Structure formats: structure tokens, C-alpha cells
């Protein structure tokens, strides 16, 4: 095939491309940094011509024009597999954002087998290579599944997109593409490095003490996981590996400090394995055409039976609240969705299944609300309506700035005792009384 001839045959303007979208269609605008820009603007112009266009997104990073021109959500119906801060802002205006719950490792299968067919997929990609392939950049995730499920695939070229080596399913061939749009080449959206508080650092120290040489590390997003990464870089740990969903700046810190070599991994040795990258420009520069990195679809990175093939897999993720039974909520505040299940449950399971591995959930003992009141994040029962991200039978270690507690095999009173010790001292007496009322406290026992 003459790839350049095919390229020019399929090359159209953004306005021309979006003419194929009809009322009632399901479309996908691209996850993370593959979210389209020129096509989004072109589609926004058609707001008054269309109705009931359902839109899929995952971790929206740029303010969509189709949302800006349709603040009531009457034309473009917004759906998210995982909410970002921007998605929360959209929802905060009163515009509906419809969340679809996932176990992230299963998302490619949901797209291929369970959801309504995607009428049009729109993705930002890197320039076509000499083999006629468009690289997805730092978001393999479920992107190839989107292309496979879509009736029409349009790609928007971004010359600034890093070329991310796989793995597999890291790109789409021109034979599967219907329309090509040469885009505006915006820089990738950076995720500012998470700031770690003193409390984060105290909790991170407990986690570091659970680690050893040759560990394989998975870090979630947030201050505490970031603090762990920084501490690892400054530690004397050796020959660590990376098998993660999200590649962030902390991994680059560990690599540049000589801690992360990937040499002891059981699978994909020598490679930093990830499903998507999100961080500062430093991360995007690091992964560009880097043979030491391997991007895979999320049904590989997050599948517990695959991730757990790495010995000493240590998985570290955040929570919003934990109750005295050991139920973990990491995605909602009551019924208000904050983010999503994402891959946390996948890696909680994988860490425990790994030989010598551990799964760790971390959170500060309390937070200060907008009203200035201090509230415990170790609570008697989850807030009504809160989502159980990790069931009590699955979660293993819980960490706060006051210590670390392993729950596996513990009775209800042992869990209550161990978790209350992780709470802020101001709340411990009240939590003991709550545990007594709930019948999960030994009256002869006391918190020290």
C-alpha cells in the first residue's frame, strides 16, 4: 500500500469530518491526552443542528467546546468512565455528567462487547509513521478497543504527541482510519506534580518500611503515593521495578536516582510497564521513543493475574474514607462521585496475590472542611451513599500518619482496634463508643 497516497485520500478538514455525525449517535472524543481539539471545535459549531449525541470520555483534561456551547447538556450528553477535576467542575455547574462504573482492567471488554456501538471515534494521535500507523501516544488504556468498536474512526494529528513504544495496541493502522485531520498541535496537558504534606511524608515512611530490594512498584495518584516515590528516590532501595496503570513523575525520580532498574521483574524485565502516562512535560519527554518503557492496554497492565506475576509487587493507592469494618471508599463523597473505581481494586487484588507482595491503601487521618471543621477519615460506617471501592474482605494494609495496620484475617473487633489507632487522637474516644454501639468492640480493651 502507498501509505502517503492513502493518507492524502483520507485527509479532510475538521468541519468536513464532523459532518458524518448524526443526531442520536454515540461518539468517543478520546481519553486523556488523546482528547480531540480541532474536531471538538468543529462539532461545537453543529450544536443547533444535532440532538441527543452521546459522548464518551475518560479523565477529561481540556475544557470541551461541545460542553461550553451546550451548558445544559441538551445536545451533547456527557458520559465518563472516570472523572477528572475538570469533569467535577462540569458537574458542579449543574450540567449532567453520567458516570459509568468500571473495573478498569475490564474496560476494553466493556467497549468491545457490552456498550452501544460507537458511531464515531475521534482521537488525537501522533503523525503517521513509515509503516502507515498512528501512535496513540501516552494513553493505550482502552483506545484500540474504541477503534475496534467504532463504525467510523477519525484521527487528529498532533505533532507534539510522544511516540510511546509497546507492548501492543499502542496505535492504529491507516487501513482502520476513515478520516484524517491535521490538528492544531497543542502541547499535552500537564498534571502538576502532587504536593506532599508533612502528614503525607509521615505516612509514606510507614510504607517505605514495608518495602525491600527488588520490589515492583505501583503508585496511584495523590500526595501520599507521590511522597512514597520521592522517598524511594532518596532511599537505599535497589533494583526496583515498575508495573503500573499510570506512569507519573515519581517513577522518573526513582529511575534517575538509580533505584528503578526493572532488572528483577518476572515479566517484561528491563521495561517500565504502564497503561497511560500523566505528569509534567518531563514525563512526556521521558517516554518519547524510549525503549525502556512499554505501554500496554489496561487489560494487560491492570489484570490482577498478570500484574501479580511480578514478585514483591507493592501497590500504593489513596482513599477518601475507611470505616471500622475495613471498607474502603476511594471514589465518592456520599452519593457525589469524585473520580471512579478506576484500577484501584485491580491492584489491591494484584498486590496481595503477588508472591511477597502487599497492597496498601493510604489516607490522612482527617481533613479540614470548607467550614473549617476537622473531620475524621476513619469513620464508624461509610457515609450514606458512599461507594465501596475495596470490600473489607479484599483490602490488606491501611496507612495514615499514625501508623500502618494489616487487616487480613482480623476479626471485627481487631479491625476496629487497629483502625482506630490510625485515626487522629481527637476522634479516637468517639470511635470507640461507635464501635461499642455497633457491637464490634471488646469492652475490656482500650486504645493506647
User: Angle at CA 132, nearest 5°, toward 126 and 138?
Assistant: 30
Catalytic residue chosen out of the listed positions 245, 321, 331, 401: 245
Round to whole Å and give the CA distance between 197 and 227.
Answer: 8
Beta-strand relationship, 53-57 and 26-28: parallel
Cβ count within 10 A of residue 426: 11
Contact (Cβ atoms closer than 8 angstroms) between residue 330 and residue 317: yes
Beta-strand relationship, 272-274 and 76-80: unpaired
**Is the preceding peptide bond at 2 cis, omega within 30 degrees of 0?**
no
In sequence order, the β-bridge partners of residue 128 are 134
Round to whole Å and give the CA distance between 80 and 84.
Answer: 9
Coil, strand or helix: which one is 37? coil
- Which CA distances in Å does 385 have to 45, 235, 333, 363, 381? 39, 41, 8, 20, 11
- The answer to whether residue 209 is catalytic is no
Residues 432-441: contacts with CB under 8 Å, at least 24 apart: 434/324, 434/380, 435/324, 435/380, 438/324, 438/380, 438/381, 440/324, 440/325, 440/412, 440/413, 440/415, 440/416, 441/413, 441/416, 441/417
The label of the residue with cell 443547533 reads 48
Round to whole Å and give the CA distance between 133 and 176.
Answer: 10
Round to whole Å and give the CA distance between 364 and 334.
Answer: 18
Round to whole Å and give the CA distance between 394 and 390.
Answer: 6
| Per-residue DSSP letter, 104 | G
Active site (catalytic) residues: 245
Amino acid at each position: 500500500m502507498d501509505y502517503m497516497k492513502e493518507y492524502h485520500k483520507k485527509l479532510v478538514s475538521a468541519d468536513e469530518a464532523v459532518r458524518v455525525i448524526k443526531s442520536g449517535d454515540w461518539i468517543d472524543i478520546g481519553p486523556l491526552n488523546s482528547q480531540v481539539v480541532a474536531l471538538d471545535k468543529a462539532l461545537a459549531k453543529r450544536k443547533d443542528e444535532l440532538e441527543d449525541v452521546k459522548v464518551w470520555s475518560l479523565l477529561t483534561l481540556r475544557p470541551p467546546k461541545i460542553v461550553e456551547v451546550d451548558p445544559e447538556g441538551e445536545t451533547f450528553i456527557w458520559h465518563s468512565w472516570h472523572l477528572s477535576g475538570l469533569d467535577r467542575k462540569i458537574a458542579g455547574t449543574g450540567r449532567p455528567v453520567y458516570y459509568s462504573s468500571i473495573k478498569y482492567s475490564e474496560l476494553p471488554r466493556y467497549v468491545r462487547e457490552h456498550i452501544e456501538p460507537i458511531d464515531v471515534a475521534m482521537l488525537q494521535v501522533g503523525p503517521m509513521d513509515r509503516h502507515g500507523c498512528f501512535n496513540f501516544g501516552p494513553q493505550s488504556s482502552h483506545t484500540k478497543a474504541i477503534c475496534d468498536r467504532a463504525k467510523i474512526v477519525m484521527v487528529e494529528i498532533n505533532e507534539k504527541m510522544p511516540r510511546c513504544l509497546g507492548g501492543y495496541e499502542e496505535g492504529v493502522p491507516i487501513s482502520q482510519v476513515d478520516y484524517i485531520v491535521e490538528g492544531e498541535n497543542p502541547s499535552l496537558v500537564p498534571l502538576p506534580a502532587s504536593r506532599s504534606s508533612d502528614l503525607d511524608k509521615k505516612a509514606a515512611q510507614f510504607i517505605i518500611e514495608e518495602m525491600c530490594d527488588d520490589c515492583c512498584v505501583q503508585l496511584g495518584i495523590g500526595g501520599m503515593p507521590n511522597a512514597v516515590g520521592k522517598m524511594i528516590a532518596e532511599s537505599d532501595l535497589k533494583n526496583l521495578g515498575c508495573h503500573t496503570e499510570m506512569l507519573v513523575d515519581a517513577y522518573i525520580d526513582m529511575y534517575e536516582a538509580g533505584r528503578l532498574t526493572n532488572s528483577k521483574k518476572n515479566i517484561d524485565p528491563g521495561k517500565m510497564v504502564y497503561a497511560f502516562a500523566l505528569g509534567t512535560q518531563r514525563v512526556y519527554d521521558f517516554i518519547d521513543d524510549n525503549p525502556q518503557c512499554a505501554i500496554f492496554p489496561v487489560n494487560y497492565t491492570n489484570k490482577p493475574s498478570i500484574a501479580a506475576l511480578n514478585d514483591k509487587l507493592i501497590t500504593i493507592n489513596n482513599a477518601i474514607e475507611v470505616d471500622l469494618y475495613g471498607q474502603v471508599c476511594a471514589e465518592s463523597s456520599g452519593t457525589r462521585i469524585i473520580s471512579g473505581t478506576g484500577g484501584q481494586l485491580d491492584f489491591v487484588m494484584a498486590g496481595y496475590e503477588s508472591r511477597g507482595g502487599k497492597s496498601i491503601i493510604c489516607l490522612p487521618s482527617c481533613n479540614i472542611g470548607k467550614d473549617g471543621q476537622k473531620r475524621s477519615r476513619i469513620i464508624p460506617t461509610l457515609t450514606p451513599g458512599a461507594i465501596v471501592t475495596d470490600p473489607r474482605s479484599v483490602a490488606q494494609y491501611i496507612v495514615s500518619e499514625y501508623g500502618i495496620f494489616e487487616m487480613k484475617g482480623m476479626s471485627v473487633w481487631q479491625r476496629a482496634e487497629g483502625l482506630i489507632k490510625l485515626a487522629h487522637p481527637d476522634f479516637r474516644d468517639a470511635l470507640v463508643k461507635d464501635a461499642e454501639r455497633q457491637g464490634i468492640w471488646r469492652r475490656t480493651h482500650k486504645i493506647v
